[in-house]
Amino acid sequence: MPEKPKVGFYWCGSCGGCEESIVDLAEDILTVIENVEIVLWPVAMDFKREDIEKMPNKSIVATLINGAIRTSEHEEMVKLLREKSVYIIAHGSCANTGGIPGLANQFKKEDILKLVYEELPSNQNNEKTFPTPISQENGFKLTIPIFRNMVRSLDQVIDVDYYLPGCPPTPKIIKNAIMNLLSNNLPPKGSVLSPDIALCDECPRRDSKPTDLTIKEFKRPHLTELKPDICFLAQGVICMGPATRSGCEALCIQGNMPCSGCFGGTSRIKDYGAKIMSSISSSIAAKTEKEINETLDGIPDPIGTFYRYSLPKSLLRKRIDI
């Protein structure tokens, strides 16, 4: 019986939703398992780092890595998996562009640790104990990963072959990616495995978007009664559809929520946040500085809105003093 191609899954700094997206393949996961040998999937099976270290280089056909890179352990593992894998696939928004964890690049590492271990009201840390990479406890040496100064996307640490966008990617594009991999029907290296057109082009509400869109005020979705068949931007609600890559099947739109941009930009976009800000600002009705400021007050968190998933890969990338 011929040997099945080996594949791996690994989880860095993320919420775990991308791991769930594999399970969301439902019965299709049986087809995947029939055709591959899973040699690494820590969230589901008991694999050890030393098992991977013993494998010959390039013996794993493909490893899907999700999550942003924040710790020394993340760095070590993805570099190891790069050595052992023919293909590395950045799985999900955090691996692709930094994702939600990347918003931490607005803050110094020391300030984050102080908030988490000292200032939060839920803390009971009277000794003000902070994690240290090496410590002694009851005569034993304890070593934990180093918390790096900033969050990075996967391709800022290792060479990446393909990108699966989304928070998380949909089962459909995951299945297509795996089946194309098994059939050796792959696009050029560096490709994003999702259609290279804007979500607006296939949005079910596209016909309701005015040709001459004018936004008088920005409304927040949770404070607004959203109409189920009208363009969100026409309702004054920020929607990232004009700059976001399609392929998500417009699931948020179908759930009557605006696009938040998790699939990232199309190949024509240099900086995702700058593109969507440019697109939306051109539709603001306000003319005077006072009117413009009043309108922009409706966006209380501009970086969290426009760079929600992409800050580490943006032109901004991080605070200048980090």
Kindly report, residue by residue over 12-27, the tens digit of the pLDDT.
999 999 998 988 887 7
pLDDT band at 28 (very low <50, low <70, confident <90, very high): confident
Instruction: Provide the β-strand partners of residue 215.
Output: 284
**Res 1 pLDDT > 70:** no
Structure confidence by residue, pLDDT tens digits, 129-177: 898 999 888 889 999 999 999 999 999 999 999 999 999 999 999 988 8
Tell me which of 96 and 46 has the higher pLDDT.
96
- Average per-residue pLDDT in the chain? 93
**Res 2 pLDDT > 80:** no
pLDDT (0 to 100) of residue 9:
94
Q: Which range among 152-156, 200-204, 295-299 has the greatest average pLDDT?
A: 152-156
Instruction: Provide the percentage of residues in the chain whose pLDDT is more than 70.
Output: 99
Please tell me the pTM assigned to this model.
0.93
d(CA 14, CA 95) in angstroms, rounded, equals 9
Residue 294 corresponds to which tokens in the numbers above? 């009043």
Average pLDDT over residues 97-114: 96
d(CA 157, CA 165) in angstroms, rounded, equals 18
Please report the domains of the chain, with CATH numbers, ordered by start residue: 6-100+150-182 (3.40.50.700), 109-148 (no CATH), 199-313 (no CATH)
pLDDT (0 to 100) of residue 115:
94
pLDDT (0 to 100) of residue 3:
84
Structure confidence by residue, pLDDT tens digits, 29-40: 877 778 889 999
**Three-state helix/strand/coil letters over the chain:** CCCCCEEEEEECECCCHHHHHHHCCCCHHHHHHHHCEEEECCCCCCCCHHHHHCCCCCCEEEEEEECEEEEHHHHHHHHHHHHHEEEEEEECHHHHHCCHHHHHHHCCHHHHHHHHHHHCCCCCCCCCCCCCCEEEECCEEEECCCEEEEEECHHHCCCCCEEECCCCCCHHHHHHHHHHHHCCCCCCCCCECCCCCEHHHHCCCHHHCCCCCCECCCECHHHCCCCCCCCCHHHCECCCCCCEECCCCCHHHHCCCCCCCCCCECCCCCCHHHHHHHHHHCCECCCCHHHHHHHHCCCCCHHHHHCCCCHHHCCCCCCCCC
Average pLDDT over residues 233-241: 95
74's enclosing H/E stretch is helix 72-84
pLDDT band at 247 (very low <50, low <70, confident <90, very high): very high
